[in-house]
Structure 1
Amino acid sequence: MKAFTAFCERMVQRFLPDAFLFAILLTFTVFLLGIIFTNSSPMQMIDYWGTGFWDLLAFAMQMSLIVVTGYILANTPLIKVVLKKISNLANTPSQAILLVTFIASLACLINYGFGLVVGALFAIHVAKRVPTVDYRVLMASAYSGFLLWHGGLSASIPLLIATPDHFLEDTIGIVPVSETLFSGFNLFIAGFLLFTLPFVNRFLMKARDPLIHSDATEWQTDNTDENSEKDSVEGKSPAGRLENSKTIAFLIGIMGLTYVIYFFINNGFDLNINIVNFIMLFLGVILHGTPRRFLNSATHAVKNVGGIVVQFPFYAGIMGMMVASGLSEQMSLWFVEMSNAFTFPLFTFLSAGIINFFVPSGGGQWAVQGPIMIPAALDLGVDTAKTAMAVAWGDAWTNMIQPFWALPLLAIAGLKVKDIMGFCVILLLYSFIPISIGLLFF
């Protein structure tokens, strides 16, 4: 296993291109597959690509803000102290890996956006605490928690089918989360991964010579202390006094947090990506103390989102070609044709994992696969709740080797996709076992 892990890492380091080139290669791949396996002409595929190219603008902004607001909040004095205290639980590289994996996994079960940011930020603090830890394995460990997101509280597919008026309500009705998220098979998968992934990542650390990232703390340097003297000088002018007003920061922060309380009262614990960003933004305003300190931190934060801004439109174009050409439907039908009542959940999971390469969005993937997989499940007599969760776990599974979701974490960590993907291949192979057991035998 150590030799195989080392082999995977060497192959990834040698052959996996930068995340932006990976997106371009996926674009070419889907373009050719659409021409070969559907009735689409080259010009039609280009039309599908260009038409869909900007469909993820809102989502790209959300993910950019995840990085920006996470950076801002992490650089407040209070949060630095909290993260540092928790990181003090790790005294050795092994303990560092175990702790980061568990915290990141737990955070992703609560909310996927929250988990991505917390995992990366916490890993940076742990790297400061244990500077001899292999930094690339540490960040792969932080990202491994994302395996659990679609079995947790922010899972888009089970939450969607539990909501009135969802697009498949006439076929399957309202499916409560007791049959999906809190079912026996889902609790088994999520629990098994939560408590075993830390030890798998610890093994990955021992499978290679460590790489020490001497700049691991660079991302968190926003020169807040260096700006203190400058703030006091500029504060003598009327504009400067406003920029350095603690009263203004406090009032707008309280206004934001008041809305958060109102939102949860009216919507329950709906911890979606927008409210997570909202909370981190206004907590950042309050905890930085003044608008000027907040803006100084934001200026440093936006340097980390270039990859997201540039690459997400390419994935939107890929999704446009997949859906409009019918290629995603063809892929789903291939797996349906080879299934029986027993194997259907497994093949649904595998098909979702493959389609996730090209449609890396849980909600978007369900819109593509749901209308195909649910009627097939009904024909075979397969539980529709398990079918939905099979799509959900397939979507989460191949995120380990799909750079789309890793971009925010990589931006925070200051790494490239090839730095962690060799380890993520092992995590992909390992996680296939408990997911398959849960879908087939529970």
Structure 2
Amino acid sequence: MKVLTRISNLIMEKCLPDPYIFVAILTVLVLFLGVVLTDSSPLDMVVYWGDGFWGLLSFTMQMVIVLAAGHVLANSPIFKKFLSSIAGKIKKPSSAIIIVTFVSLIACWINWGFGLVIGALFAKEIARHVKKVDYRLLIASAYSGFIIWHGGLAGSIPLSVATEGHPFEGIMGVVPTSDTIFTPYNLFIVIVITFTLPFFNRWMLPKEEDIVEVDPVLLVEEKQTFPPSEKTFASWTERSKILTILIGLIGVSYLIYHFATKGFTLDLNIVNTIFIVLGIIFHGTPQRFLAAAQQSIKTTSGIVFQFPFYAGIMGMMTASGLAIVFSEWFIGISNEFTFYLFTFYSAGLVNFFVPSGGGQWAVQAPIMLEAATTMGADYAKTAMAIAWGDAWTNMIQPFWALPALAIAGLKAKDIMGFCLFVLIFTGIIISIGFLFF
């Protein structure tokens, strides 16, 4: 296994381009395929791309905030001490890989946005304390927990179909989470991955001579410096804890109200609110909070300038009907026994080009639900097959790795050699879940 991962890492390091280059190549490829496989002309595809370019603007801003606010929270003295105290108890590289994978899996099952950031922050803190641990594998392990998100409490597809008035209610009705998230096949997949993936990742730990430890430069933190205090109202407010206390009370009060009235529901907006409110409180003064925010925003450039290109790709895939073409390929080779399995595989393919769970559901649901009707298949299980396919190929699709990579200070090619084997390993487990349950 160690030989295979070494070869995989070498191939990825030499062949996998920067995520921006990857999305640029993907853009050209989708445009070409749209012209060849659909009735769209080159001009049509360009128009679809341009019309969709800003389709993820709101989501992009949410991701920028989740990354920046996560950084702000992690750099607060209290939170740093908390992470450091946990990481300091880990002594062995093998334990580091197992623990960071398990923590990431649990966090992503609760909420994917929370899990993505916390897993990477925890991994980076572990790198400060544990010697001889491969930093690439440590970050890959933190990211690998993301595989579980669509089978968890914040899965966008199962939550969407459980909501009254969802776009496909006329076909499948309102589907409770007992028919999606809490079904035997989904629980089988989640439980098996949760209790085997940490040890699989540990199995990929390179030989001592091949280990790449963290570059100490990546662990150096900019020291916050502040001008001398002046006897002015502006200076006083910047250093005052009164505003922090008041804003903290408002934020905490809202969060208590939210959870009291809506139950334990987490979406990106609530995760961001938690991160921001705790960041404000833990930094103590507005001046320290703003200084941390200014540092954290530097890590978000990859998201800001790459997500619009993925939105453009989604526009081409949707408007041209290319996503439907891909789905129909798999339907054509499916039968009653393999339908869910090939739905899962088709979703994994489409996810390369439409890496948004909600966007992929909107694209694939009409054709896959129609096929389910023809074959007499279960609508809820069809929806979950699409959900797991969307989550599965995220392991080798740089779109979702960007936040973790920004926190870690690595490039996609540094971790994708390991993630390729995570893809294969989890793909077997998910396939068994859909084939035999």
Establish whether TM, by shorter chain, passes 0.5: yes
Residue pair 2:116, 2:143 contacting (<8 A) in 1 also:
yes
Q: Structure 2: how far apart are the matches of 1:203 and 1:82?
A: 28
Q: Structure 2: how far apart are the matches of 1:175 and 1:207?
A: 48
Tell me, yes or no, if structure 1 residue 212 matches structure 2 residue 207: no
1:378 is aligned to 373
Q: Gaps (5+ residues) in structure 2?
A: none
Residue pair 1:124, 1:216 contacting (<8 A) in 2 also:
no
1:7 is aligned to 7
Q: Which runs of 4+ in 1 moved over 6 A?
A: none
Q: Secondary structure at the match of 1:317?
A: helix
Q: Deviations over 1:67-113 (max 9, x none)?
A: 10001001111111211122133101101101100001110000000
Q: Secondary structure at the match of 2:288?
A: helix
1:266 to 261, 271, 277: 261
Quick one: percent identity of the two aligned structures? Answer: 54
What is the CA-CA distance between 1:193 and the residue it aligns to?
A: 0.6
What is the CA-CA distance between 1:129 and the residue it aligns to?
A: 1.2
Tell me, yes or no, if structure 1 residue 245 matches structure 2 residue 240: yes
Tell me, yes or no, if structure 1 residue 255 matches structure 2 residue 256: no
What is the CA-CA distance between 1:4 and the residue it aligns to?
A: 2.1
Residue pair 1:377, 1:387 contacting (<8 A) in 2 also:
yes
1:410 is aligned to 405
Tell me, yes or no, if structure 1 residue 300 matches structure 2 residue 295: yes
Q: Secondary structure at the match of 2:120?
A: helix
Residue pair 1:235, 1:244 contacting (<8 A) in 2 also:
no
Go from structure 1 to structure 2 and tell me whether the alpha carbon gap of 1:360 and 1:287 turns closer, same or farther (over 3 Å shift). Answer: same
Aligned ranges for residues 1-400 of structure 1 at < 5 Å? 1-206=1-206, 209-215=210-216, 218=219, 221-224=221-224, 227=225, 230=226, 233-400=228-395
What is the CA-CA distance between 1:261 and the residue it aligns to?
A: 1.6
Residue pair 1:124, 1:217 contacting (<8 A) in 2 also:
no
Q: Deviations over 1:194-234 (max 9, x none)?
A: 11111111111136710011336536x2424xx3xx36x22
Q: Structure 2: how far apart are the matches of 1:91 and 1:205?
A: 15
1:172 counterpart letter in structure 2? M
Q: Structure 2: how far apart are the matches of 1:122 and 1:266?
A: 31
Residue pair 1:84, 1:125 contacting (<8 A) in 2 also:
yes
Q: Structure 2: how far apart are the matches of 1:2 and 1:84?
A: 30
Residue pair 1:222, 1:297 contacting (<8 A) in 2 also:
no
Q: Structure 1: how far apart are the matches of 2:340 and 2:130?
A: 42
- Across the aligned residues of Structure 1 and Structure 2, the Cα RMSD in angstroms comes to 1.2
Q: Secondary structure at the match of 1:305?
A: helix
Residue pair 1:96, 1:126 contacting (<8 A) in 2 also:
yes
What is the CA-CA distance between 1:169 and the residue it aligns to?
A: 0.7
Q: Secondary structure at the match of 1:234?
A: coil
Q: Structure 2: how far apart are the matches of 1:329 and 1:214?
A: 45
1:215 counterpart letter in structure 2? P
What is the CA-CA distance between 1:266 and the residue it aligns to?
A: 2.8
Q: Structure 2: how far apart are the matches of 1:15 and 1:295?
A: 40
Q: Deviations over 1:164-188 (max 9, x none)?
A: 0011111111111011100000001
What is the CA-CA distance between 1:146 and the residue it aligns to?
A: 0.3
Q: Structure 1: how far apart are the matches of 2:331 and 2:207?
A: 39
Q: Structure 1: how far apart are the matches of 2:230 and 2:222?
A: 20
Go from structure 1 to structure 2 and tell me whether the alpha carbon gap of 1:347 and 1:295 turns closer, same or farther (over 3 Å shift). Answer: same
TM-score by length of 2: 0.98
Q: Structure 2: how far apart are the matches of 1:215 and 1:159?
A: 42
Deviating more after overlay: 36-45 vs 261-270: 261-270
What is the CA-CA distance between 1:53 and the residue it aligns to?
A: 0.5
